[in-house]
Every structure is written in structure tokens, then in C-alpha cells.
């Protein structure tokens, strides 16, 4: 891992997650489980296996904590917190506050706070924590030498089972001039110490949207370039449209249905030429976030008889087992590229790999959240997905503009949608757009996991005044709709 600048916080971080003086131990004769990857999924898998007294080794080639701790969830959410405060100061007059003219964001201090909080959180992922639990830690690149054998920095590890938890890495835009010009990805953007005056963000997914908004609030002139016709193309269209209007209101330039053709440099400037903008766009930095791909190139999977697809990742059955029955996989597919899902799948994979009993399969209700401001959280199916599966769906919607607490907080932008199986209160999925949507979506996830319908939410007392109270309101409204839609039985009619 490259950590810059090498200040006290990055030194502490590296000492916790990848100490330079570490010496790999002599391997055991055979391991019950070798975990390849020290991210959240890998660490969870190792912990579960160690608790069951298994002989465990963990192999990590870059940094414990994975992308989440080092270049993903943790540093990005630290920046988002600072950017949200910047927006609140910008809009403080609406709350009756007087802010001195000429106030500004100290970007260097923002990044210093990010590094500080990241280093503090890295204590939870310390390499030594797992050695104390009984794991053997090997730092270096793992390569399969056979169906039951790995090589790491000259050491040979024999295993009964192994779990691949190497995660994903950013896809790089391949156009003329882009490498020469230089670019940022999520793996390098958190090394910045100076705010780019002009920033191009290429991509329209969660990473792009979150960081584009943050840098715009810090003071960058942000141009977001999307290949498709909208932001967050896999999500709810109403939320996407609302976020687009909000971004434009905040001063971002949004270019849709646009493809970068080539890039040139002129001094310190980078000029991006688009098919929709042939004159070129001049920027100081560009952030590329156009997708993720499985991080498995170094593993030499063919030697382990593991089948691999460049788009979908390592092929597994729904028990997370590969064509080689000794090898399991959790987080190398973009489909499951969420920390919370990786940790859940890790528990499932370890159970299936090491313990007798019922095989656990990947039938999961997965909440997901994009941490823009407001946040957009979803769970289950959306309307389009339900219809594609041939499921008749009806949707109940209520807006935060009608919620008392949202009005008091000045946070009325957003809504709650709950998708029901036609004529019933069975919840198929939901979308929430709200300041704290990520905190609110779990109530619906719990109801779905417990196979409870709208009635369970409608009957639960919610404290007043809270924004979460809208969940009960939309549930009550949905029940009225369902009641009208359901025909009375003959017995009831009699």
C-alpha cells in the first residue's frame, strides 16, 4: 500500500495493517483453512474459523482492512462528514445563523482528519490481533501451486480448504493519453493534500456520486461525466432524477451520454475530449470510477482447477464453492461488492467449508446505500426488477416534505417507496431517499428477513417526532391500499 503523506497517522496505519518489519512464520504441516485476503470478509472468516479451533492462515499482499479501511468506506465517509458540515455552514442562514463572509474549507485539515480517524479505526484490524487469536499471518502475494497448495514469498502452504477473499479493484479507462496525463482512482484519491480547483469525475455510480458531491462542497469545480443517461443507473429512477437536480443546484456540471475519446496535457492541465464535447474540458485532476473488476490476476487459478470469468469473477455454486470443492469464494464478484455482504458471506462460506450440517446458500436480503447527501438506500427488488421477474407489483410512496421532523430539520428532500406484491402486504423491496436513509432502511430489511409484511411496521410504535416515523405512515397507507385491492371472501361477504 502507498500511503501519502507519511505523517504520524499514516505511520500508525501502516504499523497496524502492514508492518514493514514483519517476518512470515514457518508454515504448519497443513491448515484447516487458508484465507486469501485480509479485508473485512477475510478477517471475518478467519475469526469464525479460529473460534471453532480450526488451524488458520491468512495471506495478505497489500494491507489488512482491505479496500474498506484503507481506500474505501472509511476514508470516504470521513470526507463526506466534513463535506456535509461545509454544506450546513453554506446554508446556515436558513437556520438563522450568521456565518462570517469569506469562510473557507481547509482541505489539508480535512484530509488530515481523514487520516487520523482512519488510523484510529485501523486498531480494530491490527495484524497482531489475529496472531493473538492463533492465526498464522503471511504477508505477500499468494499463488496456487496445485489444488491444495499455495506459495507465498517462497513458503509453501498446504490446506484442506481455502477461501478466496481478494475483493475487487477499479477498472481503468483505456483511451489515448490517459496514462500519460495521470489520474486518480479510489486507491489514490485519499492521498491528496491540496484541493483540485477543477475536477473531472468519470462515472456515475456510488463512488463517483459520493466523491463528486464532496469535492464540489469543498470548493472544486466538478464536472461529472456519465456514459449513461442518469446517475446511479442501477437504482431507483425517481431518486436518480432528484439527485441530478440537487447536484446541479449545488453547482456541479453533469454531462450524460458522454464518452471520453482521448486526453492531452498542456502544462499542468489535463484536457479531456468527449464525443459530446469535442472542444475539450480542461481540469487539474480527474477521478476515474467506472466500475470494478475481480482482483484475482495473481492467483494462478488454473493450477487450482478453478474456473474464472473476467466479467462475473470466479464461478461458484450458491454454496460459494468453486469447481474445486476445496476452494470457496466470497467477495470477488461486483454483485456482492459491499462490506456488510462480504462479512455475511464469510460466515456462510466458513460454515460450508469446515462444519458439518445443513449447507448454507446465498439467498440474502441485501440492503445497500449510496452515501450522497441525501442518502439513497435500497433493499430487495425495485419496480423494474419485479416486473422483469413477472411479479405484479404495486408501490406506495410518501414524501419527507410531509414528515414533521424533516420539516423541523430542514431536510424535506426525499421519499420512501415500498414495493408490494400486488394485492398483498408482502414487501418485495423499498427505496428511501433521506438524510439518514442508511439508518432507516434496516427496519424494512428486518421485516423482509423475518417474512413480515407491512402490518408489522404499521403496528410498531415509532417515536415522535422522527424522520423514521414516515415508515409507519407509508405502511399504514399501504395497508389501506391493499385492503381495497383484496376482494372479500365468500364467508366474509355472507
Q: What digits encode the pLDDT tens for the residues 434-489?
A: 999 999 999 999 999 999 999 999 999 999 999 999 999 999 999 998 865 544 43
Q: pTM of the prediction?
A: 0.93
Select from 267, 290, 313 the last residue of a domain.
Answer: 290
Q: Are residues 212 and 114 part of one domain?
A: no
Q: Are residues 313 and 164 part of one domain?
A: yes
CB burial class (10 A; 0-12, 13-18, 19+) of residue 231? Answer: buried
Residue 120 lies in a domain: yes
Q: Are residues 347 and 312 part of one domain?
A: yes
Residue 46 lies in a domain: yes
Q: Are residues 268 and 122 part of one domain?
A: no
Select from 354, 381, 398 the last residue of a domain.
Answer: 354
Q: Kind and range of the H or E element at 421?
A: strand 415-421
Residue 386 bridge partners (DSSP): none
Q: Are residues 445 and 478 part of one domain?
A: yes
Name the band, by pLDDT with cuts 50, 70 and 90, for residue 204.
very high
Count CA atoms closer than 13 A to 92's CA, side-chain side.
11
Q: Are residues 193 and 99 part of one domain?
A: no
Residue 361 lies in a domain: no
Q: Flag whether pLDDT at 493 surpasses 70.
A: no
Residue 494 lies in a domain: no
Residue 206 lies in a domain: yes
Secondary structure class of 130 (helix, strand, coil): helix
Q: What digits encode the pLDDT tens for the residues 7-63?
A: 999 999 999 999 989 999 999 999 999 999 999 999 999 999 999 999 999 999 989
Residue 57 bridge partners (DSSP): 34, 136
Cell of 379: 433493499
Residue 1 lies in a domain: no
d(C-alpha 364, C-alpha 328), whole Å? 18
Question: Percent of the chain, pLDDT > 90?
Answer: 84
Q: Are residues 441 and 321 part of one domain?
A: no
Pairing of strands 149-152, 142-146: antiparallel
Residue pair 210/371 in contact (Cβ under 8 Å)? The answer is yes
What pLDDT score does 489 carry? 39
The CATH number of the domain where 67 resides is what? 3.50.50.60
Q: What digits encode the pLDDT tens for the residues 475-490?
A: 999 999 886 554 443 4
Residue pair 473/454 in contact (Cβ under 8 Å)? The answer is no
Domain count, the chain: 3
Q: Are residues 247 and 298 part of one domain?
A: no
Secondary structure class of 243 (helix, strand, coil): helix
Residue pair 198/284 in contact (Cβ under 8 Å)? The answer is yes
Q: Are residues 215 and 89 part of one domain?
A: no
Q: What digits encode the pLDDT tens for the residues 271-316?
A: 999 999 899 999 999 999 999 888 888 899 999 999 887 677 788 8
Q: Are residues 135 and 17 part of one domain?
A: yes
Average pLDDT for 342-369? 86
SS3 track for 105-122: CCHHHHHHHHHHHHHHHH
Q: Are residues 436 and 388 part of one domain?
A: yes
Name the band, by pLDDT with cuts 50, 70 and 90, for residue 93.
very high
Residues in the chain: 494
Q: Are residues 115 and 67 part of one domain?
A: yes
CA distances, 65 to each of 211, 402, 485 (Å): 21, 41, 50
Pairing of strands 168-170, 292-294: antiparallel
State which residues form the domain around 281: 178-290
d(C-alpha 457, C-alpha 224), whole Å? 39
Q: Kind and range of the H or E element at 56?
A: strand 56-60
Residue pair 370/235 in contact (Cβ under 8 Å)? The answer is yes
The CATH number of the domain where 408 resides is what? 3.30.390.30
d(C-alpha 5, C-alpha 212), whole Å? 22
Count CA atoms closer than 13 A to 347's CA, side-chain side.
6
Select from 354, 379, 397 the last residue of a domain.
Answer: 354
Secondary structure class of 333 (helix, strand, coil): coil
Residue 363 lies in a domain: no
Task: Point out the least confidently predicted range of 147-151, 164-168, 308-312.
Answer: 308-312
Count CA atoms closer than 13 A to 446's CA, side-chain side.
9
Residue 166 lies in a domain: yes
Amino acid at each position: 500500500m502507498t500511503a501519502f503523506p507519511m505523517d504520524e497517522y499514516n505511520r500508525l496505519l501502516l504499523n497496524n495493517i502492514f508492518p514493514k518489519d514483519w517476518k512470515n512464520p514457518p508454515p504448519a504441516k497443513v491448515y484447516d483453512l487458508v484465507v486469501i485476503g485480509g479485508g473485512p470478509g477475510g478477517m471475518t472468516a478467519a475469526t469464525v474459523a479460529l473460534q471453532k479451533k480450526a488451524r488458520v492462515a491468512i495471506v495478505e499482499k497489500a494491507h489488512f482492512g482491505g479496500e474498506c479501511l484503507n481506500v474505501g468506506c472509511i476514508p470516504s465517509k470521513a470526507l463526506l462528514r466534513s463535506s456535509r458540515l461545509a454544506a450546513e455552514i453554506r446554508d446556515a442562514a436558513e437556520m438563522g445563523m450568521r456565518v462570517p463572509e469569506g469562510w473557507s474549507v481547509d482541505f489539508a485539515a480535512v484530509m488530515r482528519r481523514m487520516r487520523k480517524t482512519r488510523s484510529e479505526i485501523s486498531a480494530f484490524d491490527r495484524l497482531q490481533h489475529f496472531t493473538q487469536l492463533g492465526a498464522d499471518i503471511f504477508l505477500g502475494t499468494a499463488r496456487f501451486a496445485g489444488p491444495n497448495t499455495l506459495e507465498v514469498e517462497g513458503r509453501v502452504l498446504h490446506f484442506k480448504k481455502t477461501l478466496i477473499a481478494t475483493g475487487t479493484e477499479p477498472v481503468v479507462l483505456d483511451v489515448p493519453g490517459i496514462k500519460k496525463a495521470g489520474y486518480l482512482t479510489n486507491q489514490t484519491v485519499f492521498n491528496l493534500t491540496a484541493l483540485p480547483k477543477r475536477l473531472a469525475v468519470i462515472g456515475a455510480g456510488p463512488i463517483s456520486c459520493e466523491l463528486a458531491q464532496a469535492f464540489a462542497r469543498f470548493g472544486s469545480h466538478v464536472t461529472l461525466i456519465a456514459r449513461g443517461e442518469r446517475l446511479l443507473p442501477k437504482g431507483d429512477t425517481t431518486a436518480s432524477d432528484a439527485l441530478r437536480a440537487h447536484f446541479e443546484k449545488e453547482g456541479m456540471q453533469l454531462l450524460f451520454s458522454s464518452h471520453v475519446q482521448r486526453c492531452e496535457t498542456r502544462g499542468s492541465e489535463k484536457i479531456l475530449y468527449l464525443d459530446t464535447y469535442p472542444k475539450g474540458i480542461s481540469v487539474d485532476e480527474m477521478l476515474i470510477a467506472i466500475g470494478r473488476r475481480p482482483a484475482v490476476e495473481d492467483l494462478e487459478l488454473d493450477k487450482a482447477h478453478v474456473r474464472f470469468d473476467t466479467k462475473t469473477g470466479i464461478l461458484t455454486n450458491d454454496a460459494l464453492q468453486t469447481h474445486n470443492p476445496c476452494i470457496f469464494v466470497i467477495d470477488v464478484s461486483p454483485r456482492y461488492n459491499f462490506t456488510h455482504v462480504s462479512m455475511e458471506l464469510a460466515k456462510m462460506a466458513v460454515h460450508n467449508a469446515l462444519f458439518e450440517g445443513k449447507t448454507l446458500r446465498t439467498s440474502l436480503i441485501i440492503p445497500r446505500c449510496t452515501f450522497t447527501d441525501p442518502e439513497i438506500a435500497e433493499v430487495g427488488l425495485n419496480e423494474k426488477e419485479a416486473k422483469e421477474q413477472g411479479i405484479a407489483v404495486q408501490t406506495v410512496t410518501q414524501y419527507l416534505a410531509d414528515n414533521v421532523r424533516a420539516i423541523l430539520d430542514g431536510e424535506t428532500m426525499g421519499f420512501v417507496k415500498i414495493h408490494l406484491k400486488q394485492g398483498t402486504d408482502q414487501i418485495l423491496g423499498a427505496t428511501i431517499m433521506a438524510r439518514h436513509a442508511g439508518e432507516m432502511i434496516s427496519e424494512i430489511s428486518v421485516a423482509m428477513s423475518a417474512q413480515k409484511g407491512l402490518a408489522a411496521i404499521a403496528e410498531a410504535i415509532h417515536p415522535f417526532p422522527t424522520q423514521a416515523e414516515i415508515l409507519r405512515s407509508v405502511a399504514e397507507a399501504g395497508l389501506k391500499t391493499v385492503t381495497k385491492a383484496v376482494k372479500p371472501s365468500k364467508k366474509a361477504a355472507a
